[in-house]
Structure 1
Amino acid sequence: MHRTLIVIALAGGLAALAYLAGGMDQIAHWAQAAQRGFQDQMALGLRALRRGEPGALAAFWGLCFAYGFVHAVGPGHGKFLLGAYGAGSQVPLGRMVGIGLISSLAQGASAIALVYAGVLIFDASREAMQMAGDIWLERASLIAIALIGLWLLSRAARKVIRQTMAAPVMVTEHGHCDSCGHRHGPDMHEVAQAKGWRDMALLVGAIAIRPCTGALFVLILTWRMGLVWQGIVAVMVMALGTAAVTIAVASTAVLARDGVLGWAQTPGRARLFGAALEGLAGLFILFVALNMLKTF
């Protein structure tokens, strides 16, 4: 098991180096071409659905799931954010799986909110909603992700400082006070749990604020064709396709982190390794976010 974790750690490191060296370009071109093909097929599927052809709804939802999967394989900040966070933070595998699923579903929900708020409240055009999603919300999401990267860097630095400055404390006797037998504050488990929920909210919010372009495409078309609930379900199915990739990346990152920490011989060294991984994760997240912001 330990050797398997080491192999996963090396594979994850090589994948990160490949991204930094521009090795994702070919995958990005393939994903973009595949997404255009799926969009054409989804448009045909909607026409078949409107004509009431048997099996059209199931086929359309299947196309939406496949589109979400391919979309997540291509360039995007969600999987990089969760992958880097999973590699750099002491988060259990089950929680990372939950964060990956919730963030993808929340991204689908944000697309639904944007489109139907636009058409029902503001009477916005298709172009206006796509501009809001592709430019303004994308920019806001990347800024939020860059701030998360800075936050992880600063948190890692504080951990390293505390670890290097900490000294063993000799306890000779148990001190008593007027309120002995009562808790004076949260224990370490509760503090970690509180940080976990706070981190989850930040991660989900940074991803969900930018809805998927394909989801906007489907929602606008289904609204115009009078297929409202079919479009809403389709977007959530698309989110499940995205979640499949996001969860796989986040899970691999967690296993890679466990492989790296397995090299530590002592608890103190493991804490230092963990802080270093968190700092590297923050640096990677910051680099990816700033690199994507340069395109605006």
Structure 2
Amino acid sequence: MGAIVALGLAAYFLQPAFQSLSLQIVLWQRELHRALTLAISDWVALLSISFAYGVFHAAGPGHGKAVITTYLASHDNTTRRTAVWMSAASALVQGLTAIIVVTVLVVGLGWVTRQAMGSVYWVEQVSFAMVTLLGGWLCLRATKRLRKPDTHHCCSSHDNEQVPTDWRSAFGVIVSVGIRPCTGAVLMLGAALLLGKFMLGVAAVLVMSLGTALTVSVLAILSVYARDWAQRWAVSPDGKSHQLGGWIALIGGVIIMLLGVSLLLASGSQPVTSPLLNTPPLRGL
């Protein structure tokens, strides 16, 4: 428990530095997005800048990282490999969602890109609602775990019956995070379509997803390392590690649920924004 308190205090005192870094990352992200539109005629430059944009986009503020890292940090049956494939899958789903939105609305229905951007708001609401439901479900699972007697007293092994449930919860994290498309990707696809280079834009979005996956994977792995470190210091000699894991999972579920609710409430007064619309993006992966 002391290790958990120490981590909380460190996060509190380092918060101003993290906020300053986040602001600088947003400014870099805006400049990279402008460079994307200028480089769209040069496929090598476009793909290179797309990758860099994905890296910095993921390093900036966003609810996806918070959901993934909270889930990994609060569930002791996840591994570093799980962290990598969940991060990669979430980034890929996010990129594919942007491609689908532009293909259906702009290519299929003839909407302009700005109209397609407006539709992102509703997809965003679905994403936030799913995050809220996911948090509630994780709380329910944690409560059942706390009520279940610990008969194995082992913090390194898990019942086989947990595996299907864990895959379902991981899938829920991926979908709830990934279905919210990056507004920068939507705008870039719209610009590529206007220039008659839509497939190049699709390739750029996929490369962008690769950069996003790289950054989120690093953050996710760090959260797993932090969780494992805290567990080594918090293991109880009286067989209470099962209960401790259940309480941590419950706290993680509550955090995810509150995050979803706060995003739903805040999004009503905050329009979909993007660097190309002269407003720094505040949400994303």
**TM-score, reference length from structure 2:** 0.82
Conserved? CA contact 1:10–1:256, under 8 Å: no
Conserved? CA contact 1:18–1:24, under 8 Å: no
Partner secondary structure for residue 283 of structure 1: helix
Match of 1:73 among 41, 59, 64: 59
Instruction: Tell me whether 1:202 sits opposite 2:172 in the alignment.
Output: yes
| Residue identity opposite 2:109 in structure 1 | F
Instruction: Tell me whether 1:222 sits opposite 2:192 in the alignment.
Output: yes
Once residues 138 and 129 of structure 2 are traced to their aligned partners in structure 1, the CA distance between those partners, rounded to angstroms, is: 14
Instruction: Tell me whether 1:290 sits opposite 2:261 in the alignment.
Output: yes
Once residues 286 and 17 of structure 1 are traced to their aligned partners in structure 2, the CA distance between those partners, rounded to angstroms, is: 21
Partner secondary structure for residue 188 of structure 1: coil
Q: Please, which runs of 5 or more residues in structure 2 have no aligned partner?
A: 153-157, 269-285
Once residues 238 and 44 of structure 2 are traced to their aligned partners in structure 1, the CA distance between those partners, rounded to angstroms, is: 52
Instruction: Tell me whether 1:247 sits opposite 2:233 in the alignment.
Output: no
Instruction: Tell me whether 1:38 sits opposite 2:9 in the alignment.
Output: no
- Which stretch shifts more, 240-249 or 23-32? 23-32
Once residues 209 and 38 of structure 2 are traced to their aligned partners in structure 1, the CA distance between those partners, rounded to angstroms, is: 21
Distance 1:22 1:290, change over 3 A: farther
Match of 2:247 among 276, 281, 285: 276
Once residues 103 and 263 of structure 2 are traced to their aligned partners in structure 1, the CA distance between those partners, rounded to angstroms, is: 28
Count of matched residue positions in the alignment of Structure 1 and Structure 2? 259
| Residue identity opposite 1:152 in structure 2 | L
CA RMSD of superposed structures (Å): 2.6
CA deviation digits over 1:36-72, x for unaligned, max 9?
21121111112xx2xxxxxx32221111111111111
**TM-score, reference length from structure 1:** 0.79
Once residues 152 and 22 of structure 1 are traced to their aligned partners in structure 2, the CA distance between those partners, rounded to angstroms, is: 30
- Which stretch shifts more, 10-19 or 72-81? 10-19
Once residues 230 and 12 of structure 1 are traced to their aligned partners in structure 2, the CA distance between those partners, rounded to angstroms, is: 44
Instruction: Tell me whether 1:116 sits opposite 2:103 in the alignment.
Output: yes
Q: Counterparts in 2 of 1:41-60, with a 5 A limit?
A: 41-46=35-40, 49=41, 56-60=42-46
Larger Rg: 1
Once residues 103 and 115 of structure 2 are traced to their aligned partners in structure 1, the CA distance between those partners, rounded to angstroms, is: 13
Once residues 178 and 88 of structure 2 are traced to their aligned partners in structure 1, the CA distance between those partners, rounded to angstroms, is: 11
Partner secondary structure for residue 226 of structure 1: coil
Distance 1:95 1:257, change over 3 A: same
| Residue identity opposite 1:194 in structure 2 | P
Aligned to 1:137: 123
Conserved? CA contact 1:215–1:235, under 8 Å: yes
Deviation at 1:11, TM superposition (A): 8.0
Aligned to 1:161: 147
Once residues 261 and 57 of structure 1 are traced to their aligned partners in structure 2, the CA distance between those partners, rounded to angstroms, is: 47
Once residues 99 and 212 of structure 2 are traced to their aligned partners in structure 1, the CA distance between those partners, rounded to angstroms, is: 16
Once residues 82 and 36 of structure 1 are traced to their aligned partners in structure 2, the CA distance between those partners, rounded to angstroms, is: 24
Give percent identity, aligned residues only: 27
Conserved? CA contact 1:88–1:277, under 8 Å: yes
Once residues 16 and 110 of structure 1 are traced to their aligned partners in structure 2, the CA distance between those partners, rounded to angstroms, is: 33
Once residues 209 and 47 of structure 2 are traced to their aligned partners in structure 1, the CA distance between those partners, rounded to angstroms, is: 11
Deviation at 1:273, TM superposition (A): 1.6
Deviation at 1:25, TM superposition (A): 3.9
Deviation at 1:106, TM superposition (A): 1.1
Partner secondary structure for residue 232 of structure 1: helix
CA deviation digits over 1:112-133, x for unaligned, max 9?
0111011232222212210111
- Which stretch shifts more, 202-211 or 283-292? 283-292
Aligned to 2:229: 259
Deviation at 1:245, TM superposition (A): 1.8
Distance 1:33 1:81, change over 3 A: same
Deviation at 1:139, TM superposition (A): 1.5
Distance 1:167 1:239, change over 3 A: closer
Conserved? CA contact 1:12–1:253, under 8 Å: no
Partner secondary structure for residue 123 of structure 1: coil
Instruction: Tell me whether 1:83 sits opposite 2:83 in the alignment.
Output: no
Q: Please, which runs of 5 or more residues in structure 1 have no aligned partner?
A: 1-5, 50-55, 169-186
